[in-house]
Amino acid sequence: MLEYTHTPLGEEVTAVAGYYWKTKEDRLSYKEKEALYFLGNTSTICSCYGECPPFEYIMVPGYVKDWQYRKNEKSLPVSLVEPIRSEEEREEIKRILQEKYQISQVEFW
């Protein structure tokens, strides 16, 4: 199990080569479970290989086991999630999210 901190939408997170932010957070009902996912955007990303243009992505932390069961030291809600290990389930969830949002980049924790 992993803890997932629900950060505010639109809050920029600085990374080594640029920054990113969440634009939407939601849950997808799938086989009597709920998969937590969020949509996000990146800035232009710079690396030793050059620049990559900004892009949209979907990140899937996993199945919700305990929704916002506590708050962290910054008073942000925290959920307990189980990573999705099954390749078959990952592929099906990926397909559903790609069709719904027309975003090709879908990653799993």
pLDDT tens by residue, 17-26: 777 889 999 9
Flag residues of the chain having pLDDT under 50. Answer: none
User: Mean of the per-residue pLDDT values for the chain?
Assistant: 91
pLDDT value of position 94? 98
Which residue in the block uniquely carries the two structure tokens 């990146």?
A: 42
Structure token digits, residue 5: 């901190």
Q: Please name which of 90, 103, 83, 80 lies closest in space to residue 6, comparing C-alpha atoms.
A: 80
Which residue in the block uniquely carries the two structure tokens 């199945």?
A: 63
pLDDT value of position 24? 97
pLDDT value of position 51? 67
**Distance separating alpha carbons of residues 42 and 21, to the nearest angstrom:** 7
pLDDT value of position 109? 93
